[in-house]
């Protein structure tokens, strides 16, 4: 049984369609990322699953039960918000234990359970501090423990890493994936970051203009984008017009040379971007348009190229993926 199923799930705000009759099954015990640009419908979808937005039409099936009209507390889900929403006047341990306090669970018992979860996220030493005394990463861990104390069947995360600095973001995404695996419950994570989705997800669901453009494993979505939008949004691809339609070729699969070879196309170098272990070379090739070639730094600097020079580009046919019209 799938952990969660969306059936023609729709959300409108007046005449605006935020989510347009989407269908999707989320597998049990997996990490799923809803990925897409701002306004694509991913956060509205997450909020409908949580019960924080009403469903205009369609159904949400959780563990075989239709929860479309149930309040958030009756669904068996927990949501971790982008701003963490911790109570500023409560200690860390009381923040985590708050939902059990509302359920009438005795203080000693609820604080003991809260401490267990603080240990799970390595925050037990900060139990008596208040949120203002914590860093952003520490606040995130507390919010995570508070969400988990309800023992949800699905944890919903709304851009939980967006407020963190880049170094901490990478560290925390590793810990999120490790935690999901250890708990064995489903995580559904909204993000606009391609790197985040590729690093975390068992399944990526790419949304655009209120619908699902493509879903699949990270390698499937990255290596076989089914549309120009997915190829461009997931990144690392050139979209090229050919006589038989558009194709996508990974930027690291395009070969760049100073001398012309059979079948190569000429292009003018517009920019050279050093990225540490790789170098991205941006070129313009009429009539193909702008293209990017990604090469390792040592290969590039063995035979460097300058802005304004002409280069020649080629690729293997097996690396060209045909896109839907």
Q: SS3 of 291, please?
A: strand
Indicate whether 163 and 251 sit together in one domain: no
pLDDT at 83 (0 to 100): 77
Place of tokens 């939008």: 229
The pair of structure tokens assigned to 65 is: 């039960």
pLDDT at 1 (0 to 100): 56
pLDDT at 66 (0 to 100): 96
- 8 Å CB contact between 224 and 321: yes
Ranges 9-13, 123-127, 211-215, 240-244: which has the least confidence: 240-244
pLDDT at 15 (0 to 100): 95
Indicate whether 120 and 56 sit together in one domain: yes
Indicate whether 262 and 188 sit together in one domain: no
pLDDT per residue as tens digits for the range 151-162? 899 999 998 888
Indicate whether 219 and 302 sit together in one domain: no
Indicate whether 219 and 294 sit together in one domain: no
Number of domains in the chain: 2
Residue 232 falls inside a structural domain: no
Residue whose C-alpha is closest to residue 34's, from 6, 71, 74: 6
Indicate whether 163 and 284 sit together in one domain: no
What does the pLDDT average to over 175-204? 94
What CATH number corresponds to the domain at position 178?
A: 3.40.50.300
Residues with Cβ < 8 Å from 170, sequence gap 6 or more? none
What CATH number corresponds to the domain at position 252?
A: 2.40.50.140
Residue 229 falls inside a structural domain: no
Q: How far apart are CA 73 and CA 135, in angstroms?
A: 29
Residue 241 falls inside a structural domain: no
End-of-domain residue from the set 191, 223, 255: 223
Q: How far apart are CA 274 and CA 30, in angstroms?
A: 36
Indicate whether 156 and 211 sit together in one domain: yes
pLDDT at 167 (0 to 100): 86
pLDDT at 312 (0 to 100): 95
Residues with Cβ < 8 Å from 260, sequence gap 6 or more? 266, 312
Angle at which helices 166-183 and 136-148 cross, to 10°: 20
pLDDT per residue as tens digits for the range 245-298? 999 999 999 999 999 988 899 999 999 999 999 999 999 988 788 999 999 999
- 8 Å CB contact between 100 and 113: yes
- 8 Å CB contact between 35 and 194: yes
Which is more confidently placed, 167 or 216?
216
What does the pLDDT average to over 193-199? 95
Indicate whether 283 and 166 sit together in one domain: no
Residue 127 falls inside a structural domain: yes
Burial annotation 79-112 (CB, 10 A radius, 16+ → b, else e): bbbeebebeeeebbbbbbbbbbeeeeeeeeebbe
Percent share of the chain, pLDDT over 70 = 100
- 8 Å CB contact between 240 and 283: no
Q: Are strands 154-158 and 186-191 parallel, antiparallel or unpaired?
A: parallel
Residue 299 falls inside a structural domain: yes
Indicate whether 182 and 266 sit together in one domain: no
pLDDT per residue as tens digits for the range 82-114? 777 899 999 999 999 999 999 999 999 999 999
Q: Average pLDDT of the chain? A: 93
Q: Is the pLDDT of residue 56 over 70?
A: yes
Is residue 48 exposed (0-12), middle (13-18) or buried (19+ Cβ within 10 Å)? buried
Q: Is the pLDDT of residue 200 over 90?
A: yes
Residue 197 falls inside a structural domain: yes
What does the pLDDT average to over 225-239? 95
Domain that holds residue 277: 246-322
Indicate whether 196 and 255 sit together in one domain: no
Residue 240 falls inside a structural domain: no
DSSP category for residue 324: P
Residue 156 falls inside a structural domain: yes
Residue whose C-alpha is closest to residue 102's, from 52, 49, 149: 149
Indicate whether 214 and 68 sit together in one domain: yes
Ranges 11-20, 167-176, 257-266: which has the least confidence: 167-176
Indicate whether 109 and 31 sit together in one domain: yes
How far the first Cα of the chain sits from its last, in Å, is 34
């Amino acid at each position: 049984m799938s952990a969660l199923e969306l059936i023609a799930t729709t959300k409108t705000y007046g005449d605006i369609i935020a989510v347009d009759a989407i269908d999707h099954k989320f597998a049990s015990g997996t990490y799923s990322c809803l990925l897409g640009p701002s306004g694509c419908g991913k956060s509205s979808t997450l909020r409908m699953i949580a019960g924080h937005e009403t469903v205009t039409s369609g159904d949400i099936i959780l563990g075989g039960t239709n929860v479309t009209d149930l309040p958030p507390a009756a669904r068996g889900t927990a949501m971790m918000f982008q701003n963490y929403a911790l109570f500023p006047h409560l200690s860390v341990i009381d923040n985590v234990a708050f939902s059990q306090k509302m359920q009438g669970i005795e203080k000693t018992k609820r604080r003991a359970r809260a401490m267990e979860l603080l240990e799970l996220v390595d925050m037990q030493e900060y139990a008596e501090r208040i949120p203002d005394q914590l860093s952003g990463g520490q606040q995130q861990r507390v919010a995570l423990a508070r969400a988990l104390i309800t023992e949800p069947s699905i944890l919903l995360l709304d851009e939980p890493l967006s407020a963190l600095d880049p170094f901490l973001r990478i560290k925390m995404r590793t810990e999120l994936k490790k935690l999901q695996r250890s708990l064995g419950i489903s995580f559904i994570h909204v993000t606009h970051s391609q790197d985040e989705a590729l690093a975390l997800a068992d399944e990526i669901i790419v949304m655009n203009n209120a619908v699902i453009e493509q879903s699949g494993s990270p390698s499937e979505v990255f290596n076989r984008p089914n549309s120009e939008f997915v190829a461009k949004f997931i990144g690392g691809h050139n979209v090229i017009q050919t006589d038989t339609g558009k194709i996508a070729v990974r930027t690291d699969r395009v070969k760049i040379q100073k001398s012309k070879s059979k079948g190569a196309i000429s292009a003018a170098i517009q920019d050279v971007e050093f990225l540490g272990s790789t170098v991205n070379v941006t070129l313009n090739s009429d009539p193909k348009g702008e293209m990017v070639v990604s090469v390792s730094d040592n290969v590039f600097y063995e035979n460097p190229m300058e802005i304004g020079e002409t280069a020649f580009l080629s690729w293997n046919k097996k690396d060209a993926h045909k896109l839907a019209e």
